[in-house]
Chains A and B, each alone.
Chain A
């Protein structure tokens, strides 16, 4: 099976799944040849996004999709989605210092700094989809 066909789906439904999602992302990053610092960045970013789902999404449920990217020198993409309350102002949520309550206000901005690309699609009442990418250098 070529690496482009890999498409891991990890259900997010509690504490254990936060660890499972970041482990799967780290394993794939390692197999794609990312160095240990990038592996740490990717695993931590996935941990932040998965924890957002467990904390804020309706019923704490969602999904992480993890797949390799073949463009350029290759990369990894993780899409974390939920059907939670959504984010009213995505721009504000991406600004440093934003917190919706119990967070440290570094979830999304911090995650963005760890990755090369991040895209947030959210609609109030419908849910949130966060796509992150890291490219091999």
Chain B
């Protein structure tokens, strides 16, 4: 099972989406992210799509839903690492990722989250 591990770094939860995520794993991720947010009191989420080669309308909708749920919990999400080919495909497919903050890679994403949360994210 390609379950998505969630790692906590300070006030931020990191989730690296695995290639070819199963539908059930995608739904489980929604639930575990919101549960972890409540449990840890984290206020930022970084979703890393670097290794994801295919984002279809199901995964795109899951992404929209999870970002909306995280926002309702008072936290901010940044999506990083969407491959250029995936980005072009999503646009042509007609999927709008409305109001989702994105960054090119995890480092920029952490910086964006840091400024969005009004705290400085320590860089190693």
Q: Which of A's residues lie within 8 Å of B, judged by CB?
A: 15-16, 18-19, 22-23, 26, 36-37, 39-41, 43-44, 47-48, 51, 96, 103-104, 106-107, 109-111, 113-114
Residues of the A chain whose Cβ atoms lie less than 8 Å from the Cβ of B94 = 96, 106, 109-110, 113
The 8 A-B pairs with the shortest beta carbon distances in the complex, nearest first, are: A40-B85, A47-B56, A110-B93, A37-B85, A40-B89, A36-B85, A106-B94, A43-B54
Please, which residue of chain B has its CB at the minimum distance from the CB of A48? B56
Contacts of A36 in B (CB 8 A): 83, 85
Q: When the two chains form the complex, which single residue of A37, A44, A51 contacts B93, counting CB atoms closer than 8 Å?
A: A44
The B interface, classified by DSSP as helix, strand, loop or mixed, is helix
- Distance in Å from the Cβ of A89 to the closest Cβ of chain B? 20
Contact A113 B93 (CB under 8 A): yes
Complex contact B92–A41 (CB within 8 A): yes
| B93 and A40 form a contact (CB under 8 A) | no
Most chain B beta carbons < 10 A, residue from A15, A23, A40: A40
